[in-house]
Amino acid sequence: MPDAIPVIDIGQYGTDSARSAAIATETDRACRETGFFLITGHDVPKSDTATLFSEARQFFRLPTEQKLKSRGPGGHIARGYTPFRGETLAAGTSPDTTHTPDLKEMLDFGPEPADGITPDNGFFAPDIWPEQPAGLKPAIQAYTRHMSTLATTLLRIFAETLNVPEHIFLNAHRRNISALRLICYPESDSPSPAPTRGGAHTDYGSLTILTADNATGGLQAKLRSGNWVDVIPQPGQFAINIGDIMPVWTNDRWVSTPHRVIAAPASDRARSRRHSIVFFHQPDPDAIIAPGDTPHYPPTTYGDHWRRKWLATRQQSAAP
């Protein structure tokens, strides 16, 4: 089907050689043609996903003054609560253009300092855990473990797909700065809402794993045809998209597809409150990102790339 987001069952990957090869072929096609695909056959328990959605909804329903107690420190430290209109994602892709801040609030978590890891440059800063709801922290910790395992499986599939040793990708993520983000797009009572709630952008890292509730006004991807297509994970599915790093590593064999979150139609505006759970799998901050022969891009460290895009999304925002 033209302009459709493909669905790939990864359930037998690594256990059956013929099926693994077929999964790799399907993945390569998706990464070349759409940059997005939906997966089934993973091992993430539905109950853990449902628990985290429940805890996230409770947090975002708290009074603003309570949520602000978990506000992040700002600058390049991606931790804690960001209030409504506190990020402008489109500015990370086109920083020289003025954009409208995103109509969302969010809560960010990342790798904390550990033995052998120093909190250099804010990449390994302590998380900021809200006091309420009490079940949020264990729900995030459980879900993050599942996402880390799933992301590693996807990197292995990517390596087979590209016919490269898997250690090339896995070694670049040994000290990764992957992040979990909870997002709330509140319902709107404005008579003239913005056309989008999250501006068009590409993600920064290797790959993104997303799930969301089914509220009206959701994720869309801009495919090579120029058409915007809905990306709607069904129950038990995750949406996967590749970030900016994979086109560099593959010398543009794969595409990092712009995507956005659209506004709900006027008839559904009062019922359009939306929640998303997003896991950004990101390389080590000092990993050198460069393709092999005849590169299309100059080499850079992932940390430098991430910092440029992150700070750009903050400079055009108007958080209180």
Q: Which residue has the tokens 């590693």?
A: 152
- All structural domains of the chain with their residue ranges: 7-315
Between β-strands 196-201 and 259-262, what pairing exists: parallel, antiparallel or unpaired? antiparallel
Token digits of residue 168? 């090339």
The reported pLDDT for the residue numbered 320 is 45
* Percentage with pLDDT > 70 across the chain: 92
Asked if residue 215 has pLDDT above 90, the reply is no
Asked whether residue 32 carries a pLDDT value surpassing 80, the answer given is yes
Average pLDDT, the chain: 89
List pLDDT tens digits, range 79-114: 999 999 998 888 877 776 778 889 999 999 998 776
Examine the pLDDT at 149 and tell me if it is beyond 80.
yes
Least confident of 53-67, 141-155, 227-241, 259-273: 259-273
Contact 106, 184 (CB under 8 A): yes
Q: Which of 91, 76, 306 minimizes the C-alpha distance to 206?
A: 306
For residues 256 and 249, what is the distance between their CA atoms, to the nearest angstrom?
12
Cβ burial 135-147 (10 Å sphere, 16+ → b, else e) = ebeebbebbbebb
Edge-first strand order for the sheet with 259-262 is 196-201, 259-262, 219-222, 228-230
Between 216 and 289, where is the model more confident? Answer: 289
Superfamily of domain 7-315: B-lactam Antibiotic, Isopenicillin N Synthase; Chain (2.60.120.330)
In this predicted structure, the answer to whether residue 2 has a pLDDT above a threshold of 70 is no
